[in-house]
Amino acid sequence: MGLRVSVVICSKDRHAMLLRTVEAVRRQSFPAEAFEIVVVEEGDLPQPVENVQYVLLPRLNKGVAFARNEGVRRAAGLIIAFVDDDVLPSVDWLARLVEPFADPAVYAVAGMVRAQPSTLAGEAEEILGIPGGGLPRWAAAGNRVVRTDSVSTANGAFRRQVFETRMFPTEGVAASGGEDFILSHELSREHAVVFTPFAVVHHQPRAKLRAVFRDGYYRRVKGYVYAREILRKSKGGALFGGPLDSYLVRVIIGLAAAGLLQWEGLAGVAVVFYSASLWGARRTYPLVRRKGSFWLYPFVKLAWDLGAARAELDCLRLDEGAVRGRLSRLHSVTSLRRWARGGEVGPARAPCSTRQERAGRTVREEPPVKAGPSVRPQ
């Protein structure tokens, strides 16, 4: 059997986590001689991984789309699969992911992303639908392979032919993530793209409400920039016509701002929000691991909605350049954590080549963008 599949894993500053993912991919039930693993790691020094094709990218902060495109160039398989460096694939993940490609009309496949066992709040993120659609996507599919227009590279695969005419976009909003959605959405206009709930990976959840709030803020800003840049929507349409909207939270904030919501009314509002959240998520109840996460879900949703609402207020008051600048800066996990603690998100730092330089001693000019030589398994 010849090489059929290349599994591309991109990573940055999470080497220990990367090694766990690589080991899980190695344990696949899919024939070992029929797939290869390509690791693209951005960093200062190479940390080769045994028995994979390892590619080191200089630390130039070009974004994960840039790294994925480099992985595509190094891949040799007829099908190119992607997983994030913080997921653990099930043992039959790859076999189930490539099954839909038996139909020659299928050009891309999205798999199911579940949360790794975590806190109840972390597992409740599945009900919220992050990342990759979560339990709502599974419930909507009804244990069937169904058509879609969205493939997350946390768990997805494409035919090699796709990359003969296009690559993951790396400019504009795509530089801050979402390049997989943009590519798959465009591809779905021309070819069949499907979702299979049977190819499962387990994602590391955020697990804390503050992190969910932060992610809601970041994704809402990104959604706004996407709507303005790609969909060419008006400012109002970009803010109030997206899938991340929470109209109930908007009504509550509006009533409070107008002085029409008094403290004695908050208990009633809380009951309505809690009940409406559970009703909206009712189809996911049979799918959750621990039922406690379902009853906690409204609090997780509230954290997300409040983060999104704050993002909308910032998008209203800031000009376009400031919004895009904030998106670029918030794309850094370090900046997101600092912002969540109440600090300012400063301008992006110049890329540094060594840990000592990042500590502030020196900053030297980086070489031109060029991937290091790949290390193929022997």
Q: Please indicate, yes or no, if residue 120 is contained in any of the structural domains.
A: yes
User: What range does the domain containing 157 cover?
Assistant: 5-203
Longest dimension (CA), the chain: 71
**Are 180 and 260 in a shared domain?**
no
Tell how strand 35-43 and strand 192-203 pair up.
Answer: unpaired
Q: Please indicate, yes or no, if residue 364 is contained in any of the structural domains.
A: no
Picking from 162, 182, 203, the residue at the C-terminal end of a domain is 203
Helix axes 291-317, 120-128, angle to 10 degrees: 60
In angstroms, rounded to a whole number, what is the distance separating the alpha carbons of residues 358 and 352? Answer: 6
**Are 92 and 226 in a shared domain?**
no
With CA atoms as reference, report the closest residue to 127 among 307, 294, 305: 294
**Are 253 and 283 in a shared domain?**
yes
**Are 224 and 154 in a shared domain?**
no
Per-residue pLDDT of the chain (378 residues; tens, 9 = 90+): 456 999 999 999 999 999 999 999 999 999 999 999 999 999 888 888 989 999 999 988 888 899 999 999 999 999 999 999 999 999 999 999 999 999 999 999 999 999 888 788 888 888 988 878 889 999 999 889 999 999 999 999 999 999 999 999 888 777 777 889 989 999 999 999 999 999 999 998 877 888 888 888 777 777 777 777 776 677 666 665 544 456 566 666 666 666 666 666 667 777 888 888 899 999 999 999 899 999 999 999 888 888 888 887 788 777 778 877 777 776 654 444 443 444 444 433 333 333 333 333 333 333 444 555 555 554
Picking from 183, 203, 223, the residue at the C-terminal end of a domain is 203
User: b/e string for 189-221 if b means 16 or more Cβ within 10 A?
Assistant: eeebbbbbbbbbbbbbbbbbbebbbbbbbbbbb
**Are 52 and 157 in a shared domain?**
yes
pTM, to two decimals: 0.80
**Are 192 and 221 in a shared domain?**
no
Count of domains for the chain: 2
**Are 12 and 35 in a shared domain?**
yes
Amino acid (1-letter code) at residue 55: V
Each residue's pLDDT tens digit, 43-86:
888 888 989 999 999 988 888 899 999 999 999 999 999 999 99
**Are 184 and 213 in a shared domain?**
no
DSSP codes joined into one string, 289-318:
SSHHHHHHHHHHHHHHHHHHHHHHHHHHHS
**pLDDT for the residue 211:** 85
Strand pairing partners for 9? 39, 83
**Are 199 and 277 in a shared domain?**
no
